[in-house]
């Protein structure tokens, strides 16, 4: 992937680990979009899926946080996705995964129940 005059790696390493360069780039890009909207400097060319008003935005950003082992941030984004779209099972399941990683089995159980 070519970004800002350089290539951002999105492949997997020999050990099968996701390359954190791409994940960090993705998080950085989504954070720029989020802050641009807050300051009303958002360019109109970005697709709606990248808008922080959609559940997909928060769920995708949550996935990146999970892959970077940033579970508190991932949980926050997964819960925000679930608030925006309560029927979005993936958001509830991602929240459950984060709860488990943080040792909150009760929270994980509640999230799984909401995904049903």
Torsion region of 32: left, alpha or beta (phi above 0 gives left; psi -120 to 50 gives alpha): alpha
pLDDT: which is higher, 82 or 20: 82
Whether 75 and 99 have beta carbons less than 8 Å apart is answered as yes
- pLDDT tens, position by position, 23-39: 677 777 766 666 655 55
| Torsion angle of C-alpha atoms 71, 77, 81, 87, degrees rounded to 10 | 20
Torsion region of 3: left, alpha or beta (phi above 0 gives left; psi -120 to 50 gives alpha): beta
Domain boundary assignment for the chain:
2-115
- pLDDT tens, position by position, 23-80: 677 777 766 666 655 555 545 544 555 567 788 889 988 988 888 888 999 999 999 9
pTM: 0.61
CATH architecture under which domain 2-115 falls: Alpha Horseshoe (1.25)
Show the 3-state SS of the chain. Answer: CEECCEECCCCECCCCCECHHHHHHHHHHHHHHHHHHHCCCCCCCCCHHHCCCCHHHHHHHHHHHHHCCCHHHHHHHHHHHHHHCCCCHHHHHHHHHHHHHCCCHHHHHHHHHHHC
């Amino acid at each position: 992937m070519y970004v800002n005059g350089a290539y951002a790696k999105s492949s997997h390493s020999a050990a099968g680990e996701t390359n954190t360069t791409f994940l960090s780039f993705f998080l950085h890009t989504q954070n720029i979009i989020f802050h641009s909207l807050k300051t009303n400097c958002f360019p109109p060319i970005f697709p709606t899926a990248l808008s922080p008003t959609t559940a997909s935005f928060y769920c995708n950003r949550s996935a990146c946080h999970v892959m970077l082992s940033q579970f508190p941030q991932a949980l926050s984004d997964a819960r925000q996705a679930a608030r925006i779209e309560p029927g979005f099972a993936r958001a509830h399941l991602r929240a459950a995964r984060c709860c488990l990683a943080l040792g909150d089995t009760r929270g994980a159980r509640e999230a799984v129940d909401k995904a049903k």
